[in-house]
């Protein structure tokens, strides 16, 4: 008879989730040290929230005191479309083409948690999709979903790197996965060589301050840094270059989640339309979209940098 852990993993797949692993809820060790070193080097840029309560990022028991297990789930978001290449268009990062993954993924994980509770009346848990200070990639590696690529994204052997990561922290003990996935990057340096701003300062280390994604999404300055503008290569929101060149993404497969299809059929945005957009139009156009993260002022700033 399958264990409860195996049944949870099978239920996750049946629900349309892509991969699932389960590990003990415990302190992250080396991962914690690497995070603190990364912050000490200033690689987080203006993302000051990463400095706050770093201990919570490395111990799920500080987020959910009853924590015993962490169910780690990956969700494929790849849709088979290309960016529209045009001088009057700005490219959108693939993850933001469809509906906001926070909403889509959280809905699925809440459904999985509800099922777990019906199967075990003593079970309780907390769903985490960027709303709690979990080190998603570290937990995904520990759960055997894939390995951390040199571009610092999780890579899976089945789907490449086009996956979102989320967790359910549970108060029950389960059978745990112990098999890690070997690092298959080898001598490949494709992502480092392709990054136009040299943001991957060494294998597995990204300096956010040099990253196009960070600049066009998280940075709140009125103007983009000159070195970003000079090398922005048409990106108005985010950047996919390091993933586009990754050899492991030859295994990409279309997602079964229709909500990740490009909204309005757009993989790029018209720069003139953005420049003329008012707040009401912005709210309506990007309702339930990840693009709202950068705010109207940010997306206008990005569009101006591309003109």
Q: Do 214 and 147 share a structural domain? A: no
In a domain, 22, yes or no: yes
pLDDT of the residue at 221: 96
The predicted pLDDT at position 55 comes to: 83
285: in domain: yes
pTM (2 d.p.): 0.96
In a domain, 177, yes or no: no
pLDDT of amino acid 54: 80
Domain boundary among 106, 141, 170: 170
Q: What is the pLDDT of residue 86?
A: 86
Domain that holds residue 296: 190-306
Can you tell me whether residue 91 is helix, strand or coil?
Answer: strand
Domain count, the chain: 2
Q: How much is the pLDDT for 251?
A: 96
Q: What pLDDT sits at residue 57?
A: 86
Do the domain assignments include residue 179? no
H helices then E strands: how many in the chain?
12, 11
Tens-digit pLDDT profile for residues 188-217:
999 999 999 999 999 999 999 999 999 999
Q: In the chain, which stretches have pLDDT less than 70?
A: none
- Considering 6, 124, 130, 183, which one is annotated as catalytic? 130
Q: Domain boundary at 139, 170, 201, which?
A: 170
pLDDT of residue 71: 98
**Closest to 175 in 3D by CA, of 28, 68, 18, 59:** 68
Please tell me the predicted confidence (pLDDT) of residue 51.
86
238: Cα separation from own chain's centroid: 12
Residues 75 and 150 in one domain: yes
Q: Is residue 115 part of a domain?
A: yes
Contact 145, 138 (CB under 8 A): no
| DSSP SS3 for 4 | helix
The pLDDT, as a whole number, for residue 9 is 98
Q: What local confidence, expressed as pLDDT, does residue 27 receive?
A: 93
Has 221 been annotated as catalytic? no
- Alpha-carbon torsion, ordered 198, 203, 208, 214, to 10 deg: 80
- Would residue 178 count as lying in a domain? no
Residue with tokens 């912050």: 39
Which of 170, 199, 225 delimits the end of a domain? 170
**Of all helices (H) and strands (E), which one includes residue 30?**
helix 30-40
Q: What is the pLDDT of residue 85?
A: 83
């Amino acid at each position: 008879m399958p264990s409860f852990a195996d049944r949870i993993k099978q239920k996750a797949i049946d629900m349309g989730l892509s991969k699932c692993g389960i590990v003990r809820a415990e302190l992250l060790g080396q991962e914690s040290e690497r995070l603190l070193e990364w912050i000490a080097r200033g690689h987080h840029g203006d993302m000051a929230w990463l400095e706050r309560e770093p201990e919570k990022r490395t111990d799920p028991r500080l987020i959910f005191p009853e924590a015993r297990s962490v169910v780690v789930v990956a969700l494929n978001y790849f849709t088979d479309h290309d960016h529209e290449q045009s001088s009057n268009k700005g490219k959108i990062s693939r993850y933001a083409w469809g509906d906001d993954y926070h909403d889509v993924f959280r809905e699925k994980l809440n459904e999985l948690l509800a099922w777990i509770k019906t199967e075990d009346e003593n079970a309780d848990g907390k769903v985490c999709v960027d709303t709690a200070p979990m080190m998603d990639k570290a937990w995904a590696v520990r759960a055997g979903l894939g390995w951390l690529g040199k571009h610092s994204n999780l890579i899976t052997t089945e789907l490449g790197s086009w996956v979102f990561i989320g967790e359910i922290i549970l108060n029950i003990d389960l059978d745990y996965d112990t098999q890690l996935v070997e690092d298959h990057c080898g001598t490949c340096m494709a992502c480092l060589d392709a990054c136009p701003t040299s943001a991957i300062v060494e294998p597995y280390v990204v300096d956010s301050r040099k990253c196009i994604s960070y600049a066009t999404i998280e940075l709140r300055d009125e103007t983009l840094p000159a070195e970003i503008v000079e090398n922005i290569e048409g990106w108005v929101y985010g950047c996919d270059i390091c993933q586009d060149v990754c050899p492991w993404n030859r295994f990409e497969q279309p997602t079964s989640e229709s909500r990740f299809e490009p909204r309005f059929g757009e993989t790029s945005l018209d720069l003139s339309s953005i420049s003329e957009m008012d707040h009401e139009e912005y709210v309506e156009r990007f309702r339930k979209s990840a693009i709202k993260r950068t705010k109207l002022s940010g997306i206008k700033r990005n569009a101006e940098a591309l003109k």
